[in-house]
Structure 1
Amino acid sequence: MSEPAAGPTGRLLALLSLLQARRQWPGAVLADRLEVTERTVRRDVDRLRALGYRVTAAKGPDGGYRLEAGSALPPLLFDEEQAVALAVALRLAADLDDGVAEGAARALATVRQVLPSRVRHRVDAVEVTGLDRGPRVDPVALVAVSEAIRRCEVLRFDYGDAVDQIGGPARRTEPLHLVRRRSRWYVVGWDLDREDWRTYRLDRMGLRTPHGPRFTPRALPAPDVATFVAARFKGSADQDAWPCRGSAVLHSPAAAVAPFVGDGEVEPLTDATCRVTLGSWSWPALAASLARFDTDLEQVEPPALATACRLVGKRLGAAGSSAAQPT
């Protein structure tokens, strides 16, 4: 059986790529994929081991070769698509998240240095301008929370203004998820003292060590964490609904309104009018949301929303009257 045209070095890289792509490979399958004998595969595995890769072999019909994690980081092999994806992800992290910016920037420089010229040009063509940087989050805290979630350990922490106090009682939660929403990191967990689900901003948490005892994870009261967090930020116990929801007829065509309603609904009525249904965390907030369309409103429903429209109008009128008049 002849060796591939790429030669021994190219074959060695191909073998490493295969071992990184799947947990375990039978020797015969590797030999077939590389178009060599099983004896050649054994020699190439020995070469990888000499380079620092921990490749283990298991005998028997279910045996084969497997790439294990080691105590040191050997050279990694990425194909072109993986290299571009990794570099772009690092660039996004470096530009959008202050908490991991330094580490991401250094990792990007390392990856970029070894990229082929054509791939480097593709990566350099990606320009990112971070407009929604959130509060800085300590990467150590990210790791600590992630580890507590993985090990199902109670988090002990100070929160908010209590972070700067000394000797106060620690808050305790059973962490279930670490999520990022609108440039901020949040921990979703069961608050043991308040006996309820809570979301905590990670940048406001002062973690205490050691963590608390192990726990059995509770079922989140939602189909998934994204639905749960969205409901919490709506201020609603219902997974899908805002606590306040209403509608009004707008004197604007539906096509002009639709791009700005978010998760609301638009119903065309005539060429010049439409009915918009929106939700918000309070009736005044909902009234203000309808006013932002800068057009006349009518048929406001329900009555609570109509009352809120009068209240908001009164407040804005008073604000306008109290403003300093130009001289």
Structure 2
Amino acid sequence: MDDTTERVLTLLGLLQQRQVWTGPELADRLGVTPRTVRRDVERLRNLGYPVHASKGIGGGYQLGPGQDLPPLLLDDDEAIVTAVALLAGAGGAIASGGDAALRALTKLDQVLPARLRHEVRALSVSVESFGGGRDPVDSEVLMTLARACRDEVEIGFDYRSTPRRIEPYRLVASDRRWYLLAYDLDRDDWRSFRVDRMSTVMLRTWRFRPRAAPDAATYVQEGVASRVYRQQARFLVRAPAETVRRQISASAAVVKPRDRDTCELISGADNLDIVLWHVLTLGHEFDVLEPPELAARCTELGERLTSAGT
């Protein structure tokens, strides 16, 4: 990068930091004459940056909005934070903004220097999602986990005060929290971990060859909505899957389409009466697929309700 280009980029960075700069202030910061500042401002204008100049008290150079959106100049920390924010949008934290966030994340990746590009790629390829907005977690932990997923490196961490050794596969963003799908080396099986419950997250020196893995988002969602509970239930709901998904939280149930007019709903609870109540309040006809005792419970409760209404 030649001196002029570097100086113009520095000028752009200064204009983005503060609303108004006087010519002498910029000249002092850049170590040049006011005439050189005027030439560099003109170079920015030719590149599409709407730099306005005003005279008098309170006047100076100001970077304003234009018809086209020129590229931003970000330092390293700002670029990484921007990538994390875009990732949250791509994961569903911003309503109807997922596709735009992914496009912006891709563009950011294209213009980042090599020392930062791998950080953004680690995030963009190592994260899946289901549901909407979620609780915040330590972005540095997310970056560490994403890098490990990308580089296929083992991770060690404490989980509820218990040391774990795992092969990380994917980060998954639910409608409330971040999870990591990984192969637990001590338990010899796939597990999902809540990121907010991890502590002392460390990259290990051992690399691994990826195993055949389940679909990350589906596995984590089924765990959150069903497997984590003592009892599970399956229902056939006579309504389109998209209709039912809009009625129930992604963390509360997994909804799978059967055909255009029916879907399967999977959920869990310590008391299945709770699940039954939620399905009942959806307002659609349904059948209990399993467990058989829940179908008998429906008959029992139905008789009670009929008796109460007479």
Bigger relative contact order, structure 1 or 2, given CA contacts below 8 A and separation 6+?
2
Bigger Rg over Cα: 1
TM-score range, shorter chain: 0.3 to 0.5
**Structure with greater proportional strand content:** 2
Please, what TM-score do these two structures have when normalized by structure 2?
A: 0.44
